[in-house]
Amino acid sequence: MTAIEVRDLRRTYTSRSGWPRPRRVVTEAVRGVSFDVGRGELFGLLGPNGAGKTTTIKMLNTLLLPTSGTARVLGHDVAREPVPVRRRIGYVLGGDRGLYERLSALDNLRYFAELYGVDPREQRARIAELLDLVGLRGRERERVEGYSRGMRQRLHIARGLLHRPDVLFLDEPSIGVDPVAARDLRRTVADLRSDGTTVLLTTHYMAEADELCDRIAVIAGGTIRALGTPGELKSRLQERDVIDIEAFGADPTALERLRGLPGVRGVAAEERGAAQSVTVQTDRGADLHGQVLATLDGIRIGRVSTREPTLEDAYIAIVEGDAATSPATAADEVAA
């Protein structure tokens, strides 16, 4: 049975810029997105910054009206029937927003229980149940201002579950959280799925998505680029090897030279302090170590290793591969 149905969903923003002859700028944040999420499924929505993830979620939870297309949550149209949708969903944002820091966790939950219309006779038991679920039992009478980032995120999840939503939207819940707290959050999210809650998760952490999600949609430029299980997405790279290189001072020109090598299918670089992590995808069995290192001649190289592709590699290949054939921007200027 389907919990979320999305058909050709679009959202366009119009703004004005420039002086003295201002121009009207039309930005298509979401360009015809379609997907389904089953009841009890943990569904991931992945994409780079500005891809349309948060805009899509805000339309699904009735915070934004679609420009066109349709979306239904538990059978209710998000534009025409917002109140029934809101009664049956929860929304958890990443970061520090949405809590009252000078109140205790217990007082925060009591306050939001009243806002969500939780029966007063059930509030005490429900709050105790959620404190156990998110691992805050014994710390609930402390002010939130003294909580760590991970504790705040777990309190956010408890707040979003107070009214027993059938569908929970988690928008980057582990952003800025340390590895131990992130592990605890993943365990909490996995428990939600075990209890039958439908979860739509956005995250930039590929290992988190690989561990948790039943299926994943990759969105870029406002459109869905790929949809499938983590295994299905990784299988797109089954004919590739990955070379990981620790480099110091690899500039864009050097990376472009790498991309031009025969047998190289993708190159990505990530800054890690003074070093860079350069990932080179090659044809399976091509053995391009020598050519890759020769291309980086003059650049100080640290560790070099070869491995099997991961979900992160598949994600980069999907996003960058589409970027080569799709418009780079979603903004079109129209003379005012």
Residue-wise pLDDT for 228-247, tens only, equals 999 999 988 888 889 999 99
Beta strand extents in 74-205 (DSSP E only): 76-77, 89-93, 167-171, 198-202
What's the pLDDT at 323? 37
Question: Which two three-digit tokens encode residue 327?
Answer: 């418009």
What's the pLDDT at 300? 93
Is pLDDT of 126 > 80?
yes
CATH code of domain 240-308: 3.30.70.100
Predicted structure pTM score: 0.83
What's the pLDDT at 192? 84
How many Å apart are CA 193 and CA 265, to the nearest integer?
Answer: 36
What's the pLDDT at 5? 97
Residue-wise pLDDT for 208-219, tens only, equals 999 999 999 999
3-state helix, strand, coil in the chain (%, to 5): 35, 35, 30
Do 48 and 318 form a contact (C-beta atoms < 8 A)? no
Pick the CATH number of 2-88+165-234 from 3.40.50.300, 3.90.600.10, 3.50.50.60, 3.30.70.141: 3.40.50.300
Strands 42-46 and 215-220: parallel
Give the C-alpha distances (Å, rounded to integers) separating 148 from 95, 99, 101, 181, 184: 11, 13, 12, 9, 13
Residue-wise pLDDT for 149-168, tens only, equals 888 988 998 999 999 999 99
How many Å apart are CA 10 and CA 98, to the nearest integer?
Answer: 27
Parts of the chain belonging to CATH 3.40.50.300? 2-88+165-234
Parts of the chain belonging to CATH 3.30.70.100? 240-308
Q: In terms of C-beta density within 10 A (0-12 exposed, 13-18 middle, 19 or more buried), how is residue 39 classed?
A: middle
Cα 28 versus chain centre, distance: 19
Residue-wise pLDDT for 90-116, tens only, equals 998 776 678 999 999 999 999 999 998
